[in-house]
Structure 1
Amino acid sequence: MTANKSFIGLADCYLKPYNVAGAARALGSVSACQLQHQVTELRQRNYGRAGGTLNRTDRLDRVLVALTLQSVSAANLALATRGGITNVSASTVSAEEHTAHLGALIRTAHMNISSVVVEDDAELITYEAGVDYKVTGAGIVPLEGGAISENDPIKISYSFSARVVIEALTQPQTEWTFYFDGLNEAEGGENTAVDLHRIKFGTVQNIDMIGDDYATLQLTAELLVDPTKVGVGESQFYNWAHPSA
C-alpha cells in the first residue's frame, strides 16, 4: 500500500438555495473549480542572536471559490449578473410604431421576428423586404435607395418566437449551497464529493460578448460561516469526502 494519493478532478456541480428546501440545479460544464484560503500570517520574531522565528500563527481571513462556467445558460447568466429571469411566450404584434433612420437598426419590442409587414404611417403603402428594408435578429434596418425616407413614421407588424430575458443587476445577492459531485481521474475514477455549505457569489467582472473562442463565465464566491454546523469537529465552511484507502 502506498501513502501517495494523487488527484485530478472532474465533477458535475450543483447549486441549491442555502438552508431552503429545493432542487439542486446543475451548472452545466465547469472547466475550473478552485478553493482559495486567504490568511494573515502572524510571526513572532526571535530577537536573540540566532534570529529566525519563535512562533507563527495563520489567521483565516476568508475562503473563496473560483469557478469557470462553460455553460452560458439563462440561469447561469442570471447568477453571474444578479439578474431576474422573465419568460416571454410567442405571439404577434400589430402596427408597432417607429421612426425610420436609413441604415440604422430599428429595435423592435421583440427579437427573432418573422412574417414581417412594414407599412407607412397611414397603412396605405406596404414596403418590400430586401428592397426597402432588411430583417435582422433584433429588428429591421431601412435601406438606402428604398422607398422609405429618413425620419418617415412607419408601422411594423410581425410574429415573434418565445424567449428568455435576463434583467441584469436587478436581484439581491443570494446565498447558496454548492455540491461538487466528482471523481478522481488519478485514482481510477473513484468518487469524491465536496459540500460547500454556504456561499455568496460576487457579480461577474467580464463577459466576452464578441471573440474567437467560446465565452465562459468566471465567478468568484465567498464561503460564509454556516451557523447550522455545530457538531464536534464539524466544519462550518466545507467538507471533502472520498473512499477510504
Structure 2
Amino acid sequence: MSLLDSWTLSEHSAVGATHPTYRKGSGPGVIVIHEIPGLTPEVIAFGEEVVAAGYTVVMPHLFGTPEASLSAGSAAKAFRQVCVSREFTKLATGETTPIAGWLRHLARDLHTELGGPGVGALGMCFTGGFALAMMVDDSVAAPVVCQPSAPFAVGSKRAADLNLSPKDLETVKRRAAGGCQVLGLRYSGDKMTGTRFETLTTELGENFIRVEFPGAKHSTVTAHRQQEGVDAVLGFFATTLQSPQIL
C-alpha cells in the first residue's frame, strides 16, 4: 500500500505554473513543503502527525519522486531538477524564490475555503525559507522555518541571506511587528543553515521564536526528528491558528 493512498491527489495552477498537491484531514489549513529529495516517507509521516493533530494538510509536490527515500540517487535527481528550474533561486542573494507566488496563491485559496485566522506554512531544508516568502501574503498566519538552507551557504553573504527581496523582507518585518510570529527550528551546528537564524533574530527580534538543538544534524522534523521540535510546531499551530486574524 502506498503511503499516499489515503491522501487526495490534485493539482494547483497559478502564476503560469502547475504542481501536484496531496491533501488530507480537517480543521485549519497547513501547507507542508517538502525538503530535498522530495516527499520522502519521513515528510509524509510528519504530514500525518499534523493531520492527526487536527489540521487540513496540503503537501505540494515540487520536485523529486513521491515516496522515494533519501539516498544519493534521489538527492542527485532532485538537485538536477532544482538546478535547471527557474522557479527556485539557488545562489542569488536579496531575491525571493519565484515559486513563492505559486505558494502564496495556494495559501490564499486554502484560507478562502477554510476560513479562520489564516493558514500555517512550513518549509524545510532547501524550502525552509519559503514559509517566510509566503508570509508576505496575509493568508499565512503561522510560518515555520525548519533548517533553512537556501541560498546555498557558500560565503558569509549567502549564509546570512533569507531568500527574500528587500521589499518582501520589509513586509515580513511589518507583519512580525504586528504580531505574526515566526517559528524556526535547527541544529545549532548545522552548517547548511549558515547564519540565517542570527539574521532572523536581528530583523524580527522577539517575534522570531528560535528553537535549537545541540549537534550538527539537519532535518529537525523528519530524518533527524526531534520530538521537542515537532511538539513546538504543533503547539505553534494550535496557538496561532486559533487566534484573531493577524493583519
Question: Does TM-score exceed 0.5, indicating one fold?
Answer: no
Higher radius of gyration, 1 or 2: 1
With normalisation by structure 1, the TM-score equals: 0.22
With normalisation by structure 2, the TM-score equals: 0.22
Q: Which has the higher strand share?
A: 1
- Bigger RCO (CA 8 Å, 6+ sep): 1
